[in-house]
Amino acid sequence: MATLLHVVRSAVAPVTRTRTFRAVAPRALPPVERALARLTRGRFQLSAVLVPSLVLHTTGARSGEPRDTYLMYTPLGAGRLVVAGTSFARDRHPAWTYNLLAHPDAAVSIRGRRYPVRATLVEDDAERDAVWERIEAQWPGYRAYERDSGRVVRLFRLERAGRPV
């Protein structure tokens, strides 16, 4: 099964790096993910068909309001995972990264189970390279988003900070 999934990811990944996908996906995918979340009580995400996916629950950096973002994640083991602020290779960092910088205590929902987490920005170059290797083992070519965006993509390590809520 893991080999089949890797083959499918390798076939689909190049499509996600096309101009068309990058133009359409940021507008089309979030409403679809929200609708599926409502229908399944958060137990199913479309993106989870291909990659581990979560809902990141943050506090708005400026507004202080709760914010939810659907993201791919890469497991690091021992209750840790990493998320990348690629934003479909846009030239600006996604809002959720500002939220984590301002309010690192957040939560994630994975298959309908919510966990508190603490976010840490991955800044060390050697650690960033190691994290990117793990991400690309899961989704081939994902770092191309960083190169194409013209910015250093923010990587956040999320560590579980308690029991499911």
Task: Write the CATH number for 76.
Answer: 2.30.110.10
What is the DSSP track for 62-113? TT--EEEEEEE-EEEETTEEEEE--GGG-SS--HHHHHHHH--EEEEEETTE
Token code pair at residue 9 = 């990811």
Query: Is the residue at 165 inside a domain?
Result: no
pLDDT for res 163: 73
- 165 residues of the chain, pLDDT tens digit each: 567 777 777 777 777 777 887 777 778 777 877 787 788 877 777 676 677 889 999 999 999 999 999 999 999 988 899 999 998 888 999 999 999 999 999 999 998 899 999 999 999 999 999 999 999 998 888 898 899 899 999 999 999 997 766
Query: Is the residue at 78 inside a domain?
Result: yes
Q: How many domains does the chain have?
A: 1
pLDDT for res 162: 76
Distance CA 46, CA 126 (A): 32
Query: Is the residue at 86 inside a domain?
Result: yes
Query: Is the residue at 67 inside a domain?
Result: yes
pLDDT for res 49: 67
Domain that holds residue 34: 2-160
Query: Is the residue at 96 inside a domain?
Result: yes
pTM for the full model? 0.81
pLDDT for res 114: 94
